Structure 1
Amino acid sequence: MSIRHVRTTRRAGAAALLAAALTFTLSACGGDDGTGKENTSASQGTGKGEPSKSGDGKTYPDSSKVIATFKGEKGLEMVIHEAKRDAGGFLTVTGEMKNTGSEDFTTPVQWNGPEQDVALTGPSFAAMTLTDAKEKKRYYVLRDTDNRPLTTTKYTSSIVAGESLAFFAQFPAPPTSTTEVGITFPGFTTGTIEIS
């Protein structure tokens, strides 16, 4: 097999994996309500409906339920809306960073995690980890074949006072016997979230 053929095969495999990841991401965080029509009734801060796109073109998680809230510094709160297991062996955590303070919050580089390859992606939530105390395992944000984290990336460097930054992060799913996991993210208190 020639080197050119091997490179072509690798590129095709990488493209297929990336396409699958993007498809899953869009279905997990997009605004499709299953009817083929985009649900535009929900927007940031309404607390109703499925994940949707608002008038500003951004996608927001379903904020109708809150499974946990973790306090950060300078009035920042990490609100977790869902930790959902899917049939593909993934666990997707969705939520939003709410700036409840009176000043804009500058997002720290620690959120990207310590890996240099991941840092090349730009701002991300790659430093988020989940811990399964029952199985004594720690789970890190998944990466694609180009070592890009499967999480929200390239967001703005600050969160305006009173505004929110929606996010998602994908992990390997713990065994089905695990119903809750610990969540750790730089600058926030550590706690547990329930898996749906």
Structure 2
Amino acid sequence: MSIRYVRSMRRTGAAALLIGALTFSAAACGGGDKDDGGNKAPSRSSAESEAGDKKPSRESEADPDSSKVLATVKGGMGVDMVIRTAERDQGGFLTLTGELRNTSGSRVVTPVEWSGKEEAVVATGPSLAAMTLVDSQAKKRYYVLRDTNDRPLTTTNYDSGIDAGASLPFFAQFPAPAPTTSEVSVQFPGFSSATIEISG
């Protein structure tokens, strides 16, 4: 029997043994699913999905609650900022929703000042990262939160202009002020300061 033949037989035997072991492992892993009683730990993807629910949904910027109005602030370009909700959640965030409404008779170009001056934020494209909240009671100012890639947690990459009679829905997420704070002032370039009431 040649050495080449022996080596070939060894490789064939090893492959067969490996396939058998994998088949047994797959059967052993799959057999416990029927009787786990619903106690199976959530997968990484589902856990991450649940964690992601605490972040503002992009749906909130597309469909603000039109039944509420906390404040309406007129801007100098014929654009009104309508703030509809300011909700505090258990994750320690405060999320604003609303819309920027063009009440003029012509298209308005959105100012670059709305995006803020930080280089990391400017790199993400048009945004509302320049919006801030002021808690006069605690004498604190809050800025739009950033994700791990320095992208602002607010409406981004919107059109460079708002047509006459059209609106730009928005959301912006901030750190939540202390539970004792019930009101904050919203400040945004081109608009007067507006005091709004926090819910939640």
TM-score computed with the length of structure 1 as normaliser: 0.74
**Correspondent of 1:78 among 46, 68, 81:** 81
* Structure 1 residues 124-135: aligned runs within 5 Å: 124-135=127-138
Letter in 2 for 1:84: E
Aligned to 2:194: 191
Structure having greater relative contact order (Cα 8 Å, sep ≥ 6): 2
Residue 116 of structure 2 corresponds to residue 113 of structure 1: yes
* Structure 1 residues 38-57: aligned runs within 5 Å: none
Aligned to 1:102: 105
Q: CA deviation at 1:19?
A: 8.5
CA RMSD of aligned residues (A): 2.0
Aligned partner of residue 125 in structure 1, secondary structure: coil
Aligned to 1:25: 56
Question: Matches of 1:19 and 1:98 in 2, distance apart?
Answer: 33
Q: Give the direction of change, closer, same or farther, for the CA distance of 1:120–1:19 in structure 2 (3 Å limit).
A: farther
Figure out how many residues of one structure are paired with residues of the other and give that number. Answer: 153
Aligned to 1:59: 62
Q: CA deviation at 1:75?
A: 1.3
Q: CA deviation at 1:191?
A: 1.9
Aligned to 1:154: 157
Letter in 2 for 1:181: V
Aligned partner of residue 24 in structure 1, secondary structure: coil
Q: CA deviation at 1:152?
A: 0.5
**Sequence identity, in percent?**
58
Question: Matches of 1:134 and 1:106 in 2, distance apart?
Answer: 36
Q: CA deviation at 1:59?
A: 2.1
Letter in 1 for 2:136: A
TM-score computed with the length of structure 2 as normaliser: 0.72
Q: Give the direction of change, closer, same or farther, for the CA distance of 1:71–1:144 in structure 2 (3 Å limit).
A: same
| Equivalent residues of 2:62, 2:170 under 8 A apart | no
Question: Matches of 1:90 and 1:162 in 2, distance apart?
Answer: 32
Aligned to 1:35: none
Larger radius of gyration: 2
* Structure 1 residues 162-181: aligned runs within 5 Å: 162-181=165-184
After TM superposition, the structure 1 stretch with the greater mean CA deviation from structure 2, 139-148 or 16-25, is: 16-25
Letter in 2 for 1:125: L
| Equivalent residues of 1:100, 1:161 under 8 A apart | yes
Richer in helix (by share): 2
